[in-house]
C-alpha cells in the first residue's frame, strides 16, 4: 500500500514568516529595554515623560491591532504585510530625526501602530501556511521565534546602550526592518476564496468588524495570564535587587527562554494528537507554582527554578491559546481571531505593570507574586467554564473539517 504524503510544516513561507516575526519582536524589545534611558539622557526628561515614551508604544500597537482585523477582510494579506513592514521601517527612521520630545513620542505611537499591524498579519498568515493537522505543533514552533527574541532583544539592547550608543541602536533596528521588508516580498500566500467570505451587512459600526466573538473566551484567559506575567517582565530586576540576587536576574530570562524552546514543539504536537486541555490544565498549575516559588525565593537556585517553571507554564499557555483562538473561528475570520487574541494579550501585558505598580508598595514583591500565583491556578477553573468543557466538541468539529 502507498503511504499518504504528510503535509509539510517547514515550508519556505513558514520559515520566512517566523524570521520576520523574530526581527520585529527583537526590534521592539531591544528598543523597549533602552528607550526610557534614551529619553532621560537625550531630552533631559522626567521619569514620567520617559514612561510615557515607553508606554505609548503599547497604545499604538493596540490601535493597529484593532483596525487590522477589519482591514484583512478587505485587503490582500500580502499587500497589507508589505505595507505594514514599510510603515514600520519608516517610523524607525523617524527616531533618527531629533525634533524634540513631543515628536519622538508621536513617532513611538506610530511605530507601535506599525508593529500591531504587521505582527497581527503575520500571526494570521502563519496559520494559513500550517497544515490544519499540525496547527498546534506549527504555532508552537512559530512561537519559538518570539521566545528567542524575548531573550535576546533586551540583552542586546542593554549591551549596545553601554558600548555603542543610541544612534547605533536605531541604525541596527532600521537595517533589520529593511531586511524584513526584503524577505517579506518572497512570502506567497494563497488568497481566500470569495465564496468562503460572508459579509455582514447592516448600518452602523459593529463590534464584530473588529473583534471575533468566538475568540473572546480564550482571549480573556490570555489577558489574565499576561497581566500576571507582566509582573515578572517589569519587576524581576527590582525584586532581584531587593533579594541581593541581581547577578542571577540576568540569567532569569535565559532559563525562561531555554525552557520555552525545549517544551513548545513537544506540547504543540501533543495538542494536535490529544487536545489542548491536556496541556492547559498542567500549564496553569506549573505557572502558578512558579509564581508562588518566585515569591518565596531567597537563593539563586530558587529564582532560576521559578524561571523554568514560569517558562514551562506561561510559555505554553500563550502558544496553545493562540492555536485555540484561530481554530474556533470560521476560516474567513482568522484575521479577526488573531487580532482579538493579540489585543487581549497586549492589554494584559501593557496595563499590568501600571496597575501592579500601585499595589506593590502596599504588599511588597513576595506577597504580590504569591497572590498572582494563586490567581493563575484559580484561572484554570475559569478556563474550564469558558472553553475546557467544550474542547471535545470543538475537536470533533475540527476533525470533520479536515476529514
The per-residue DSSP string of 67-86 comes to HHHHHTTTS-HHHHHHHHHH
pLDDT digits (tens, 9 = 90+) for 364-377: 999 999 999 999 99
pLDDT at residue 203, rounded to an integer = 52
Asked whether 213 and 339 are in contact (CB, 8 A), the reply is no
pLDDT at residue 56, rounded to an integer = 87
The share of the chain scoring above pLDDT 90, in percent, equals 40
Q: Is 62 exposed, middle or buried (0-12, 13-18, 19+ CB in 10 A)?
A: buried
Q: Does residue 28 surpass a pLDDT of 70? A: yes
Asked whether 200 and 208 are in contact (CB, 8 A), the reply is yes
Q: At what angle do helices 246-274 and 135-163 cross, to 10 degrees?
A: 160
> Which residue carries 484561572 as its cell?
379
Q: Does residue 195 surpass a pLDDT of 60? A: no
Which of 132-136, 220-224, 300-304, 378-382 is predicted with the least confidence, judged by mean pLDDT? Answer: 132-136
Q: Does residue 309 surpass a pLDDT of 90? A: yes
Mean pLDDT of 279-303: 95
Q: Which of the residue ranges 59-63, 204-208, 301-305 has the most confident prediction, judged by mean pLDDT?
A: 301-305
Cα dihedral 65, 68, 70, 76 in deg (nearest 10): -160
The share of the chain scoring above pLDDT 70, in percent, equals 90
Mean pLDDT of 227-248: 85
Mean pLDDT of 116-131: 88
pLDDT at residue 284, rounded to an integer = 97
Residue 323 φ/ψ region, left for φ over 0, alpha for ψ in the -120 to 50 degree band, beta for the rest? alpha
List the one residue out of 176, 144, 146 whose CA is nearest residue 160: 176
- pLDDT grade, residue 403 (50/70/90)? very low
Which of 237-251, 321-335, 385-399 is predicted with the least confidence, judged by mean pLDDT? Answer: 385-399
Q: Does residue 212 surpass a pLDDT of 70? A: yes
List the one residue out of 358, 352, 353, 350 whose CA is nearest residue 57: 350
Q: Is 337 exposed, middle or buried (0-12, 13-18, 19+ CB in 10 A)?
A: buried
Q: Does residue 270 surpass a pLDDT of 90? A: no
pLDDT at residue 55, rounded to an integer = 80
Asked whether 256 and 151 are in contact (CB, 8 A), the reply is yes
The per-residue DSSP string of 134-148 comes to GHHHHHHHHHHHHHH
pTM over 0.75: yes
Distance CA 73, CA 212 (A): 12
Residue 232 φ/ψ region, left for φ over 0, alpha for ψ in the -120 to 50 degree band, beta for the rest? alpha
Q: Does residue 182 surpass a pLDDT of 70? A: yes
Tell me the helices (H) and strands (E) count for the chain, helix number first: 13, 0
Mean pLDDT of the chain: 85
Contacts of 162 (CB under 8 A, 6+ apart): none
The H or E element spanning position 119 is helix 101-129
- pLDDT grade, residue 66 (50/70/90)? confident
Amino acid at each position: 500500500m502507498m503511504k499518504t504524503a504528510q503535509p509539510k510544516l517547514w515550508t519556505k513561507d513558514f520559515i520566512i514568516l517566523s524570521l520576520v516575526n523574530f526581527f520585529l519582536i527583537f526590534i521592539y524589545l531591544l528598543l523597549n529595554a533602552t528607550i526610557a534611558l534614551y529619553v532621560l539622557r537625550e531630552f533631559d526628561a522626567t521619569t514620567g515623560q520617559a514612561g510615557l515614551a515607553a508606554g505609548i508604544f503599547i497604545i499604538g500597537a493596540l490601535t493597529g491591532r484593532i483596525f487590522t482585523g477589519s482591514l484583512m477582510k478587505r485587503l490582500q494579506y500580502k499587500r497589507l504585510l508589505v505595507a505594514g513592514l514599510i510603515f514600520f521601517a519608516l517610523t524607525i527612521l523617524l527616531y533618527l530625526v531629533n525634533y524634540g520630545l513631543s515628536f519622538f513620542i508621536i513617532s513611538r505611537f506610530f511605530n507601535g501602530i506599525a508593529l500591531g499591524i504587521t505582527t497581527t498579519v503575520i500571526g494570521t498568515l502563519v496559520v494559513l501556511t500550517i497544515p490544519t493537522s499540525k496547527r498546534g505543533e506549527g504555532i508552537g514552533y512559530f512561537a519559538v521565534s518570539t521566545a528567542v527574541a524575548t531573550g535576546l532583544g533586551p540583552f542586546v539592547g542593554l549591551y549596545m546602550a553601554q558600548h555603542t550608543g543610541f544612534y547605533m541602536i536605531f541604525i541596527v533596528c532600521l537595517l533589520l526592518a529593511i531586511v524584513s521588508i526584503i524577505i517579506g516580498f518572497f512570502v506567497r500566500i494563497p488568497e481566500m476564496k470569495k465564496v468562503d467570505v460572508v459579509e455582514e451587512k447592516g448600518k452602523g459600526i459593529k463590534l464584530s468588524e473588529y473583534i471575533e466573538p468566538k475568540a473572546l473566551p480564550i482571549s480573556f484567559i490570555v489577558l489574565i495570564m499576561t497581566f500576571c506575567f507582566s509582573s515578572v517582565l517589569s519587576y524581576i530586576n527590582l525584586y532581584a535587587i531587593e533579594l541581593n540576587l541581581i547577578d542571577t536576574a540576568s540569567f532569569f530570562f535565559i532559563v525562561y527562554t531555554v525552557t520555552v524552546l525545549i517544551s513548545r514543539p513537544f506540547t504543540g504536537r501533543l495538542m494536535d494528537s490529544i487536545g489542548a486541555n491536556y496541556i492547559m490544565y498542567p500549564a496553569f498549575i506549573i505557572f502558578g507554582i512558579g509564581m508562588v516559588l518566585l515569591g518565596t525565593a531567597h537563593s539563586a537556585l530558587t529564582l532560576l527554578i521559578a524561571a523554568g517553571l514560569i517558562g514551562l507554564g506561561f510559555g505554553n499557555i500563550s502558544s496553545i491559546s493562540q492555536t485555540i483562538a484561530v481554530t474556533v473561528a470560521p476560516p474567513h475570520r482568522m484575521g479577526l481571531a488573531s487580532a482579538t487574541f493579540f489585543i487581549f494579550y497586549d492589554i494584559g501585558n501593557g496595563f499590568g505593570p501600571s496597575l501592579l505598580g500601585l499595589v506593590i508598595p502596599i504588599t511588597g514583591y513576595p506577597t504580590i507574586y504569591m497572590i498572582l500565583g494563586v490567581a493563575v491556578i484559580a484561572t484554570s477553573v475559569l478556563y474550564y467554564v469558558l472553553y475546557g468543557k467544550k474542547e471535545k466538541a470543538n475537536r470533533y468539529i475540527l476533525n470533520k473539517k479536515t476529514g
